[in-house]
Structure 1
Amino acid sequence: MTALFLLALALAMDAFAVSIARGAAGPHSLARAAETGLAFGAAQGVMPLLGWAAGALFIRWIEAFDHWIAFGLLAFLGARMLREAFSDSDDDAEEAASTERQRGHWAALLLAAIATSIDAAAAGLTLDLFGVPVLLACAIIAAVTAALCVPAYWFASRIGGKLGHVAEGLGGVVLIGLGVKILVEHLA
């Protein structure tokens, strides 16, 4: 079980970092923190199950370009956050954009959850080695990820609101940096 928890912690680190970036740029809301934790937890729990089920053939196929997918998604989200950080919008434009931003929140959350969990699919190949039922292993990975991401978002949103656009810009830089890190690790 210790090895499984260590795997869960390792897989959760990217989602943890993105939760901090999203929290710094997002509203201070327990509901948003819970949404973030649930989305990242679910993605981190499902992807190893998919990797385990698909087997070595599928993983070898996607392993050749999974880092490019993660990089592209994170760079897109980071660039979007940077654009919003440097945009000059007044209060009326903010209100008009509220509905669009809510739709964008769900799309960005889904993309971030997928991008940070792609590596978990490859980890799914090792689930049989832990001597724990695969579904239980996936549930532990999901729970550890959610347990880290909810407070990460919550804490960062408390600080981020005070920093405004600066936090959003830094969050964008963090997402792009995380995408570059994933790309460099896989290409090196």
Structure 2
Amino acid sequence: MVFQLISTLLIAVALAMDAFSVSLTKGFTQKDLTKSQIFYYALFFGFFQFMMPILGYYFGEAISTFIASIASFVGFILLLAIGLNMIRESLSDDEDITDNFSFKEVTLLAIATSIDAFAVGLTYAILGSEILIPSVIIGIVAFLFTLLGIFIGKKIGDYFGGRFQILGGVILILIGIKILLGF
């Protein structure tokens, strides 16, 4: 039982790293995030990290090969598009362009960073393990790491200021490449 809990926590932390990295980026590129917007980031990232293992579990082996073959590509495309847009906006001469909060982007980022959790759900199904408790733990850890990432990112952004949006875009693209290559 203790071994399963430790294993689940380690899996949850590993899965939360992408969410942490993206939220760190958002923390230093979105200067005017309100407390409710920060909460939405954490809620969406935590929710998708919670739901994806369950979805993976119930999809099972029947479609696992197909999903696994395209999941990393979908995550890469989403993060590449968002990252390139951040870089484009940062390089624009228009001073009014900023990285603003949007539910569409939060949802896309949450999906892109939780695709690995889908594969974890498939693994739990193959092993015949229970999925609800691990999914709850995975979701809570992602929620907490997202909050932590945003708050650290805001501090970094305040310290460095300026065109940190370019770095944010590059980080999102690198995370997408990591997902695509399966690291």
By percentage of residues, which structure has more helix? Answer: 1
Runs of at least 4 residues off by over 6 Å: none
The percentage of counterpart residues that share the same residue type is 35
> CA–CA distance in 1 between the matches of 2:6 and 2:128?
9
Residue 50 in structure 1 maps to residue 55 in structure 2:
yes
Residue 71 in structure 1 maps to residue 104 in structure 2:
no
Number of the residue aligned with 1:124: 121
> CA–CA distance in 1 between the matches of 2:162 and 2:83?
13
| Structure 1 residues 130 and 26: alpha-carbon distance in aligned structure 2, compared to 1, 3 A threshold | farther
Q: How many residues align?
A: 177
Measured after TM superposition, the shift of residue 130 of structure 1 is 8.6
| Letter matched to residue 57 of structure 2 | W
Measured after TM superposition, the shift of residue 176 of structure 1 is 0.5
Number of the residue aligned with 1:33: 38
Measured after TM superposition, the shift of residue 185 of structure 1 is 2.6
Structure 1: stretches of 5+ with no match in the other structure = none
SS at the partner of 2:180?
helix
Measured after TM superposition, the shift of residue 126 of structure 1 is 2.8
**Considering only aligned residues, what root-mean-square deviation do their CA atoms show, in Å?**
2.1
Measured after TM superposition, the shift of residue 80 of structure 1 is 1.0
Q: Which moved more, 1:33-42 or 1:71-80?
A: 33-42
TM-score by length of 2: 0.87
Please give the per-residue CA displacement for 1:145-186, whole angstroms capped at 9, x wherever unaligned. Answer: 111110111120232145444211100000001111221237
Number of the residue aligned with 2:180: 183
TM-score by length of 1: 0.85
Residue 20 in structure 1 maps to residue 24 in structure 2:
yes
Structure 2: stretches of 5+ with no match in the other structure = none
SS at the partner of 2:61?
helix
Residue 160 in structure 1 maps to residue 139 in structure 2:
no
Q: 1:112 aligns with which of 109, 113, 120?
A: 109
> CA–CA distance in 2 between the matches of 1:31 and 1:158?
18
